[in-house]
A and B are shown apart, each in its own frame.
Chain A
Amino acid sequence: MPGGDGALVPVSNENRGSVVVYPLHHGLNPPIARLAISWSRGNSLRVSVFRPPSEGEAGGKVVEVNLSNGDSEISDAQRRRIAYGSVSPFALLQSRRSSFSSLSKVPMTPSLYHLDWCEHVIEYSKDISSLLGGPKLPPSPIIEDPKAIFKKGEEPTYLKAAWEMMEIFYADKQSQAWLPERLVDWLADYDSLFSSTQATIHSKLVDFQKDIVNIQVIEDDSRYWEVISSALAVGWLDVVVKMLRLHGSYQLDQLSYRETENGLIEAVAVLISKMPRLRPESASGKLGECFKSKPDFNKAWEKWRAQITKLDCSAFWIHCDNLRTREGLKNMLQIMLGNIESLCMATCHWIELYISHFLYIRPFTMGIESMYSLAQKCIQSKPVSSAHRLTGLMIGILEENTEVVLAECSREYGPWMVAHAVELLTAGSEQAEILLYEERYNLGGISIGELHRLIYAQVLSSHALTWQIAPIYLTSCMKQGMSLLEILLYRQSVQHNELLLKNIELCRLYGLDHISSSIMKVAGVYHWKHGRKGSGIYWLQQAQDANRLHIIAQQLFDSVGKSISDESFKQWEGVIELLGSESKTAGGLEFLRKYRDFKKFLQQVPGGKSTEAARRAVDSLILLMKNPSTPQRFWLPLLYDSLKLLNWQDCPLLNVCETNLLLNKVQELSLARVRPDFKESSLPPEALSCVRLALATNLGRAILDE
């Protein structure tokens, strides 16, 4: 709500550029009393707008604002795919880094160390780059259109273009010698991305391609020659040769009387396809002759230039009567000879002019510094009206200004790019490594690299579908990663088992036992509260939370009834199974297990014969009665159940001490009966007196025995 009377926060005009304004359509009349803002699903904010209480009007409204970044190039799903895909290359590089730093203690020649590390970085870079491909285009038709100049490949994306540019400059140390040629290839792949702000050679070619079917005599069209020389200027040799062969003189019916003209065209085409290139090898189908070493290339280059000059001075031109063809071809020769004016004419964007310099004027590697001054010169001769996402980055790289590169990455491509590009920036540049990995007081003791990694991890954490990969990034941050990881794991919902299990597994992976036990406690209480007693008990037991299990036990016995007769005990079987073996925490539920054992022994005492079995039953009865977790209301039923043990024929089974313990319990029970909150058991009324009598008899016999 900027500007208008309803604005809550004034937005000054100077800040307009940097502030993104999302208009809210809440439809409430002013005044607005209160605003509450919270995160909603995904990338949405939930804004609750409240009015002061008044009659006859809505008190408030809740609206959702989708904070989409507006970058339609990459969809959210695609972004998630990239996020998941980049986890394993990132993790691999991190583990290699740690093994490398332990290795580096062993004396090793620094250059060898460097080379090895660069190999890892380039592998990482290639892995990441393969993820960034745009949507695949439909497969090319089987019958190739003879007039199709272009082969359509993957739809290029800015993200991939930027990543590859950084790879060329920072990571790919091995091909540093033929860096200009790599830039030529780069532009061939991504020239179309510059078309968004101004005309490019690519856009000219696309336009021409559209019209090509309507043109009768192709060589008479001025655009034909224009486009050919443009493509030549940026080194798209196969396109150039293909287009030259569309020339009318190649048609069989015209070949006879346009022989000279055709010969000249063919000579130029051959020269183009023989252009020496300083690169290891070119991709299949690309034209040009590749030379790996500079001296070889130099020789070939001189020879090639001599051939061009020779052709330029040839007498055949006079015999060529097609003016357009003659001028077009002559212009192409000028481009190949590196005529600056021709190059300027043929190119559109400064970056195209820049690339043409590498091809025809200075085909040798030069230092980054002179590359930068050359770029400045190109910008001067072809000024741009507005900044471009890729040129900003490129200038930053050429300036050798790591801060600018980082800022451009962050501004144009977001946290994913920065977090992953740091690895490229620091590869082989000590200066950048110091800049990015130096701990900074003003950042709370962390480095810039770690800060950006944390920012990216926060972005991942904020989405339900990506939070589980955030730990990889958090644990790679030495200073603050672990504490943020703990917060992240704490924050996850415990409602769905799958999520809960994953969360616990992550805790196990990072040795955060205290977190996983807290999470299990939360899950236990959550399930218990929602009536899922079994799962509640399970999770509390996993968390070894005897305290809560004790409280739960009291509630559980309350809810199920006063007595635990044979009938109702069946339903406890499941819980006892769940409690598992003796060794595990069961809290107050321990009673159930002991009671089950007692019952089992009691059942083994049929007809009062086996004294051995009866003794075991008595032992477990005493254990039960001694245990403080045995609820008072079960005392009488327990004693009543074991009457036959108390009245054992052969000998008294309980000694004096044990009988006294039980008598004390009976006494306590009689006292408790007076209390108002006492719950009467469902036993017959004479039960208590029966037990008392039996105990008294037993005591007498026991005393006599001793």
Chain B
Amino acid sequence: MAVTALSERPEIYRLPQYKYVDAVRWLPPLSAFDRFAVLALFDSDSDTSSIEINSFKPNPASLEPQSSWVSPSRVSSLKASQFLQKTIIAASTFAGSLHFLFSDSTDASLESEVSVPENELHHGPVSCVDLMDGGMECVSVAEDGKVNLVSVGNSSLNYRRVFDSSGLVSYTAARWASPVEFATGGYGFSLHWWDQRKPGGPVSQFKGNWDQKMTAGIVHSIDIHPSRKHTCLAGGSLGTVFAWDLRWQQQPIMLSRAGTVASDTEVQSVSEIMEFFTDIYLLSSFKNAEFSLGCLLVLLHSYNWTLAISEAFDKRKKLRRKPCTDFPFFISYQKRSNGIVLLNWRPILNLTFFVIPRQQ
């Protein structure tokens, strides 16, 4: 097993929250001094959900609530992006509604909100939303088999259905690859590649030629690195992480999975991979390798969530990882931001701040 230790131990700070944290994201930074994080909170005692913008103070690490908005249902997915000096926060709920919050980038005050009511786009819980980087487009997918695109205007929304599988295919993850392309993931480790220029259905489908021993699972998270747009990385059930290269569609590159490890280049992991981030800047030692990406994995263990950092995997399919914490959290990772991750200690309502020293 190709596991090596990180040269430096990450620093971990815990920021306790007194409500259940459903999701957490960094807001895109406008200045070097102000850092804001958006939290989707759930108060189990009063049964209320809210989205809160907190300003982050590094010394000592703390979060101070700035503004808050009451959500009609629990938040299932949360994303944030920036467009023309404005921060957009997209949130989907378990009831099936979509909400877009606009906040002032300088003081993080909430300015307005537009929403799509439940049963309009999706029936039942929305699995995932993704906002285009620096754009006003949002893709939403759900287990009801619908794929929708929402164009976010200042006060109005335009939405259209990209695809409806009438429930035959259930989608669990979505990620933009470019302004016109995005990828979706679902049950049975299915990955679909969509191109807005070619409507009517997915342009490519990942047909996993899994060997017999391999059990199919659910894709929980997809990441596509801006510099490797042809490679779709997916993580999901039973510790599976694989790369799907659009140029060689029939050959998924297995990076991690459960069970017997076929070769010494794979890593064994039995937990569910709930979130998954890659960053080319995370590690530079494989600079010339074809896949020179570092990635962060969030694993689900039975009692908690665990973070693993895969330092890098290259074309020799090496994945190096290190479990860092033994407490549960959620993760939001900002690319090119000195490797700062905001984590959430989930069941006990703790939020953790996590710094990974960049190794350059």
Contact = CB atoms under 8 A, between A and B. Distances in A.
B144 interface: yes
Given A532-B170, A534-B145, A571-B165, A581 B212 contact: yes
Interface stretch (A317-325, A464-472, A681-689): A464-472
B272 A501 contact: yes
B202 to A, nearest CB: 9
Contact of B124 (A472, A530, A533, A581): A530
A277 interface: no
A531 to B, nearest CB: 5
B45 interface: yes
Given A501-B272, A532-B167, A581-B210, A573 B300 contact: no
B52 interface: no
Interface residues of B, number: 46
A636 interface: no
Contacts of A530: 123-124
Contacts of B190: 574, 577-578
Question: DSSP class of A's interface residues: helix, strand, loop or mixed?
Answer: helix
Contacts of B124: 530-532
Contacts of A509: 302
Nearest to B237: A501
Interface in A41-95: 41-42, 75-77, 80-81, 84-85, 87-88
A537 B186 CA distance: 13
A534 B302 contact: no
A580 B216 contact: yes
A76 B18 CA distance: 9
B186 A531 contact: no
Contact of B144 (A468, A495, A531, A577): A531
B165 A574 contact: yes
B29 interface: no
Contacts of A81: 16, 348-350
Interface centre among B16, B124, B169 (most CB of A within 10 A): B169
B205 A577 contact: yes
B349 A468 contact: no
A502 B348 contact: no
Contacts of A42: 44-45
Nearest to A535: B170
A60 B165 CA distance: 45
A84 B348 contact: yes
A527 interface: yes
Interface residues of A, number: 50
A501 B239 CA distance: 12
Interface string B1-43: 0000000000000001011100000000000000000000000
B309 to A, nearest CB: 22
Contact of B167 (A84, A505, A531): A531
B50 interface: no
B169 A505 contact: no
A6 B143 CA distance: 51
A368 B347 CA distance: 43
A575 interface: yes
A221 B82 CA distance: 67
A500 to B, nearest CB: 10
Contact of A538 (B145, B165, B218): B218
Contacts of A501: 237, 272, 300
Interface string A459-503: 000011110110110000000000000000000000111100110
A574 B212 contact: no
B172 interface: yes
Given A501-B272, A505-B301, A575 B201 contact: no
Given A571-B168, A574-B190, A580-B210, A77 B302 contact: no
B303 interface: yes
B166 to A, nearest CB: 7
Given A502-B300, A574-B165, A534 B212 contact: no
Nearest to A575: B168
A534 B167 contact: yes
Contacts of A75: 18
Contacts of B18: 75, 77
Interface in A529-578: 530-535, 537-538, 570-575, 577-578
Contacts of B20: 465
Contact of B170 (A41, A538, A583): A538
Interface in B259-312: 270-272, 274, 300-303
A527 B187 CA distance: 13
A502 B237 CA distance: 11
Contacts of B168: 533-534, 571-572, 574-575
B302 A532 contact: no
A574 B303 contact: no
B300 A534 contact: no
Q: Which 7 A-B pairs have the closest CB atoms?
A: A574-B169, A534-B170, A578-B188, A538-B187, A533-B167, A535-B170, A532-B143
